[in-house]
Copies of this chain bind each other. A is one copy, B any other.
Amino acid sequence: MTIGFTLWFTGLSGAGKTTLAHLVEAELRARDYKVEVLDGDVVRTHLSKGLGFSREDRDTNIRRIGWVCEVLTRNDVVAIAAAISPFRDTRDEVRARIGRFVEVFVDVPLEVAIARDVKGLYRKALAGEIPQFTGISDPYEPPLNPEVIIRSAEEPPEASAARILAALERLGYLQPARQLAAD
């Protein structure tokens, strides 16, 4: 049975990608899947130190995360990427390479992300202290046909995670939890 796939969270900084990634991770581990979360910020320190935030450097970073997801997916690990990944073409390129790919658009109004400002980055970006900040001074291109859309301002993350897991079951990437429990 092939079980590897890539679950790719995209959205603005502060949309809730990392929170959702770890909620889904916990549930998949509880169901005995092998799971690896590739968080954009963490991966930058391991794979992309020295890269900046130009279009080219962002694309390089996303392709590297995508390559690690591809390697994990073909070895039957569930790879969960949580990265702003603002450019549609680059996400679609990664999708095409991996094949078994589920895109989750974590949609949040910019003003909500600014109000949350978990990392204090929006304040700096709005003050002009961070150039090329997605949503403020750099573009974000939403997916046209993501497998899942989460509106993180409108429901608690646990409800979003449950909807993502249901989508993965519906798409055939996961065994329904109930069926497993009945075995």
A contacts, CB < 8 Å to B:
34, 36, 46-47, 49, 60, 63-64, 67-68, 71-72, 74-77
A60 touches B67 (CB 8 A): no
Q: In the complex, A68 Cα to B67 Cα: how many Å?
A: 10
A60 CB contacts on chain B under 8 angstroms: 49
Q: In the complex, A147 Cα to B47 Cα: how many Å?
A: 28
Q: In the complex, A172 Cα to B21 Cα: how many Å?
A: 35
Copy count, this protein chain: 2
A34 CB contacts on chain B under 8 angstroms: 75-76
A72 CB contacts on chain B under 8 angstroms: 71-72, 75
Measured CB to CB, the closest approach of chain B to A31, in angstroms, equals: 15
